[in-house]
Amino acid sequence: MSQVGHFFVGLAPDFRGPGVRVGRPFGVKSSGSGRIHFQLALRCRAAGIWTDMRFRFAGLLGLGLFSIHALTAQVTETPQTVAPGKLRFEIDGLRLAYDRADAAGNKVTGVAVASTIVTAGITESFDVQAGLDLFLRRSVEFRGRRDSRAGIGDLYFRAKWTFWRDQGRGAALAVMPYVKIPSNSAGLGNDAVEGGLIFPWAMKTGEGVTAGAMLRWDMVRNDDDNGYDARWHLSGYVQQDITKMLAAYAEGLLSLYSTGFSQWQGGVGVGLLCQVTKSIQLDYEIMRGLNRRATDWQHIFRVNWDW
């Protein structure tokens, strides 16, 4: 079985994803409510038939305060930045993507462990981030044959500038340029430099309630490897504080592609955030794909540490 892949950065749920040979983007964190995400989608081909597989990586940052009101969902980025002189480590303990078997028994699973993003606060409204997928594994079962590959992923570099704030409404808007540098092994990505822009927005809408949205634009190497295609991703979430340490959220996402709007993908998810200590936060989300091009189920467990 031969495999070809593209990797692109953007929002994801998820991470994240697009129905291309390669994956989706990743987002980065912020001070008041951090969150990051990037996704990897792989397409494997056997007997002339493409089979999609996606890894989704998203990260949620801890606040540095023993409170959960500033936390956000996994896919939608936060417009807040990390405080000057502070570091934030976002480590995905485990990510599992699973497409249920079709009538012929073909299925795809993906696992990611210890995907890490480090964010450094530069000013009150600007931070920089770097990320690496330390271990990826994908398995494809197709017509009775099984193909598995494991290795490291690509390097990601981003920056975030919060250019607008309304303290009275608890609202903010930011811009995040990013770039992916190919560093993967075992064919778990492509060899192209890719990038794009992310625009996250958030606002407090009531007592203990926060709403947010994000628009992401990606430029991804095309399947013929002779140019680039565009991807557009829109996501949004609503989060409700339960206690000072615990919050619940729901979010949805939609992805469109310049190669044809019929290739759209969508998903919905629910999750829980737990601020264990002043510097450690736990995040779990389960997501369900809304159409055949989307990954059926994704489970993401993340640990975030402020230092």
DSSP secondary structure string for all residues of the chain: -EEEE-B--S-TT-----SSSSB--EE---SSS-EEEEEEEEEEEETTEEEEEEEEEEEE---SSS--TT---SSSPPS--PPTT-EEEEEEEEEEEEE---TT--EEEEEEE-EEEEEEEEETTEEEEEEE--EEEEEEEETTEEEEEEE---EEEEEEEEEEEETTTTEEEEEEEEEEE----TTSS-S--EEEEEEEEEEEEETTEEEEEEEEEEEEE-TTSSSEEEEEEEEEEEEEE-SSSEEEEEEEEEEEETT-GGG-EEEEEEEEEEE-SSSEEEEEEEEEESSTTS-SEEEEEEEEEE-
List, for residues 103-157, the tens digit of each pLDDT value. 556 667 777 777 888 999 999 999 999 998 887 777 777 766 777 778 888 899 9
Would you state the pLDDT for residue 200? 97
Write out the two tokens for 183.
């560093």
Run means of pLDDT, 10 residues per run, the chain, 307 residues: 28 29 29 33 36 34 34 78 92 70 65 83 97 79 75 91 94 97 82 94 92 96 89 95 94 92 91 92 91 84 85
Task: Give the domain range for residue 146.
Answer: 2-306
Number of independent structural domains in the chain: 1
Would you state the pLDDT for residue 296? 84
Would you state the pLDDT for residue 38? 32
Would you state the pLDDT for residue 242? 95
Look up the CATH number of the domain holding residue 72: 2.40.160.40
Would you state the pLDDT for residue 175? 98
